[in-house]
Amino acid sequence: MASEKMLLGPMALKLADRILTIVATATLTSAAWIVGGGSFMRYAEDQKAAETTEATAEAAKTETVDPTPKVITREEPKLDTAEVSQPKAGQTDQLVVPVLNVRREDLTDTFTNERGEGASLHEALDIVADEGTTVLAAGPGEVEKIFTSEAGGKTLYIRSPDRQTIHFYAHLDEYAEGLQEGQRVRRGQRLGTVGSTGNADDEAPHLHFAILRTSADAEWWEPATAINPYPLLSGNNQRP
């Protein structure tokens, strides 16, 4: 029994040393992996950050910004360059004096009379007549606008068949019954009556008659070239 105990003692010590060696080796190996692994992870993170920084720098080089401000040009709308022509002889030789029973020799040329203390010209013909006297269409056309204004009072815009001439009638007292925009009128047709509406003198009723040359696609309110009606009405004072 004593001999068995003596044999077990050295064997137990060797076994304990072996176990201690294994534990120590495992501990050192784990520590090495922990330290090494942590270092590897930090290296990987540093490498990824470096790659990201490098990619950002390359992108910045590629996307160069031009410091010169860009000038944006816009195409300006083209103006209406259609020429305004003079009326042809055949378009004026059939005009009638646009007030009933007024003869050619009764007319007075007021086209160049000054208005507004010389600020502008009249550019129209004033045909004096009693209030309520019939106003006639000087020529054929279409009623483009029936309009009441502060200056002209009750007015009419009648465009010629070729759309290049507008006859303008102002200071009317009344419009003819049933007259409406878009209606075609014939030469000598009744349009209304002489009056003094707008800025006309109540003591001097008259028809303000103007002939305006324009382009076919221009609106009735757009600027147009005034033509003196006085010489165009000569010899055309008969009703059709």
Query: Are 93 and 179 members of one domain?
Result: yes
**Residue 40 and residue 132 in one domain:** no
Whether 79 is in a domain gets the answer no
Which among 73, 104, 134 is the end of a domain? 73
Q: Are residues 10 and 124 in the same domain?
A: no
The pLDDT tens digits of the residues spanning 3-59 come to 444 444 555 556 556 665 655 555 555 544 444 444 444 544 555 555 555 655 565
Domain range for 23 = 1-73
Domain final residue pick, 73, 103, 124: 73
| Domain identity same for 113 and 207 | yes
pTM of the entire predicted model: 0.61
CATH number at residue 130: 2.70.70.10
Total domains present in the chain: 2
- Report DSSP letters for 137-160, one per residue: -SS-EEEEEEEEETTTEEEEEEE-
Whether residue 97 lies inside any domain: the answer is yes
* Burial of 142 per CB tally in 10 Å (0-12, 13-18, 19+): middle
- Tens digits of residue pLDDT in 203-233: 999 999 999 999 999 999 999 999 999 999 9
